[in-house]
Amino acid sequence: MKKLLFFTVVAILFACSSVFAQVTKEQSVAEWTRAKAYTKAYLDAMPADGYAFKPTPEIRSFAGQMLHLADANYFFVATASGKESPMGKTSLEKTAAQTKEATTKAVMDSYDWAIGAIQGMTDAQLQETATMGKDMKVVKGLLLAKGFEHQTHHRGQTTVYHRLKGVTPPPEMLF
């Protein structure tokens, strides 16, 4: 019984990793486009005076969370696509004005660039390996999935910021 359970778990893990590896360029573009719209809804829902809001002094402001998300969009997609980020080594989180208008523009620009870079890739390129950091080898399609997971994580964190400011966050947009 234990062997059967072990092999079942291994099969499920293999299937899940294979799903990420088999995402097509079209599917990836569609998901990042949906994520852009969802993130825009989060940005729009927060009032302008909430962009500097920090639930506690130790954590990022709402704008900081969103600009961090944008920085990571550039990083992950540049690494996967091989296209140089228009931001270079600049951190939006550290340099961009953290107003509603400036933050929204910076975040939407990151999605536009990311989606364009992904559109420029082929399905075959999604199966190639990229080097992340000094020596970590990652399949490009999986790297895009990790970038997607990262932006989802930080957008989700801002749900608490909305609630603490008395704002109802946008409803989930899975499809």
Q: How far apart are CA 46 and CA 162, in angstroms?
A: 6
Question: Mind listing the pLDDT tens digit for each residue in 3-46?
Answer: 544 444 444 444 444 444 578 999 999 999 999 999 999 999 99
In the CATH scheme, what is the homologous superfamily, with its name and number, of domain 57-175?
Answer: dinb family like domain (1.20.120.450)
CA dist list (Å): 24 to 12, 15, 35, 111, 122: 21, 16, 16, 18, 8
What's the pTM? 0.86
- pLDDT category of residue 1 using cuts at 50, 70 and 90: low
Asked if pLDDT for residue 97 goes beyond 70, the answer is: yes
**E strands present in the chain:** 129-132, 136-139
| Domain boundaries defined on the chain | 57-175
Question: Mind listing the pLDDT tens digit for each residue in 124-156?
Answer: 999 999 998 888 999 999 999 999 999 999 999
